[in-house]
Amino acid sequence: MTQKKSTTPKTTVKETVKKTSNSYFEEQEPGVKLEMEYTEHLMDTKSQFQKVDVYKTKAFGNLLTLDGLVMTTERDEFFYHEMISHPSLFIHPNPEKVLIIGGGDGGTLREVVKHKKVVEAHLCEIDEEVCNAAKAYFPTLSESFDHPKSKIFIEDGFAFLDNNKSAYQVILVDSTDPIGEAAKLFEESFIKKVYDSLTEDGITVMQCENPLYKLDVMEKMYFDMKKYFEYVYFYFVPIPTYPSGYWSFIMGSKIMHPVKDFRKKRWNNKDFNTVYYNKDIHKAAFALPEFVKNKLGLE
């Protein structure tokens, strides 16, 4: 696939505003339904890869959904974006070059470029319509697209990794749920590609679903990653608008321990603020509940 780079994704929207009243966006798991009341349907379009919608909700500000699933809201986005990015960046001794696969809303990129150690932050997003939605309706996330450290690539993540071996200290996989195009990002073959695109001291973090409904997905990811990485650890974060309100990330590190190698001095000397993440949250997030430990056969 031909590589296409765009540091300023378009802001045009294919479908125009749909005004509504007393309407609810719904996301369902078996036997469970999340509802958010919205006042406007701001974007309604079908891209080459998925359905992209933006709603103006009463409680959570603008809401981005892909194929009917919650991706982010203005009110609670910081939980996800801080926790997918900062733990690895405060572990690696010199994360100069970082790759984000997915993450077209820009929130993870926004957090990555805050780090002084980061020289280049590349975002590889397959669907430019997601970037367009962010530019139009999530300015506090998409501001990162124009940061001098940022480079945006509209390309399939598989192909991108094939062309960038041993190139990155940190790779963050900010994907949707394992359906459609994103399903292949949860396969062992993709984990191997990520491993090969990391430097010898590299770290990856991947979003890994919620432990109440998708524990089998987490189990498979854990044992697939153990085939390649020295250290493989889950960590957790509350996200109010995600199914069950409880989410997981999985970290694979070639040589560094996720807790023992936390750079406390770098944290103390940082020049930016966070909303949720801090040094105590970093340590506590890696504590596993018993039902997860039992599933993975851990003591």
Question: In sequence order, which residues have a C-beta less than 8 Å from that of residue 48 and are 6 or more positions away?
Answer: 127
Per-residue pLDDT, 283: 97
Give the confidence band of 10 by pLDDT, cuts at 50, 70, 90.
low
User: Are 161 and 55 members of one domain?
Assistant: no
Cβ 132 vs Cβ 9: under 8 Å: yes
115, pLDDT greater than 80:
yes
State yes or no: pLDDT of 74 exceeds 80: yes
> In the predicted model, is pLDDT for residue 18 greater than 60?
no
283 in a structural domain: yes
Per-residue model confidence (pLDDT) at position 241? 96
Residue 5's pLDDT band, with cuts at 50, 70 and 90, is very low
Q: Is-contact 174 84, C-beta < 8 A?
A: yes
Indicate which residue of 174, 177, 196, 261 is catalytic.
174
Residue 3 lies inside a defined structural domain of this protein:
no
How many structural domains compose the chain?
2
Q: What's the CA angle centered on 261, arms 260 and 267, to 5 degrees?
A: 110
For 32-69, how does the pLDDT look when each residue is reduced to its tens digit (9 = 90+)? 889 999 999 999 999 999 999 999 999 999 999 999 99
In a domain, 173, yes or no: yes
Tell me whether residue 27 is in a domain.
Answer: yes
In a domain, 102, yes or no: yes
Tens of pLDDT along 262-298? 999 999 999 999 999 999 999 999 999 999 999 999 9
SS3 label, residue 153 = strand
Q: Do residue 110 and residue 36 come from a single domain?
A: no
Find where tokens 């970082």 sit: 98
Distance CA 81, CA 278 (A): 13
Which structural domain range is residue 217 located in?
77-296
Q: Is 174 a catalytic residue?
A: yes
Q: Which two tokens stand for residue 165?
A: 């071996």
Question: Each residue of 122-148: pLDDT tens digit?
Answer: 999 999 999 999 999 999 999 999 999
Q: Which DSSP string do the residues of 181-247 spell out, in sequence order? A: GGGGGGSHHHHHHHHHHEEEEEEEEEE---TTT-HHHHHHHHHHHHTT-SEEEEEEEE-TTSGGGEE
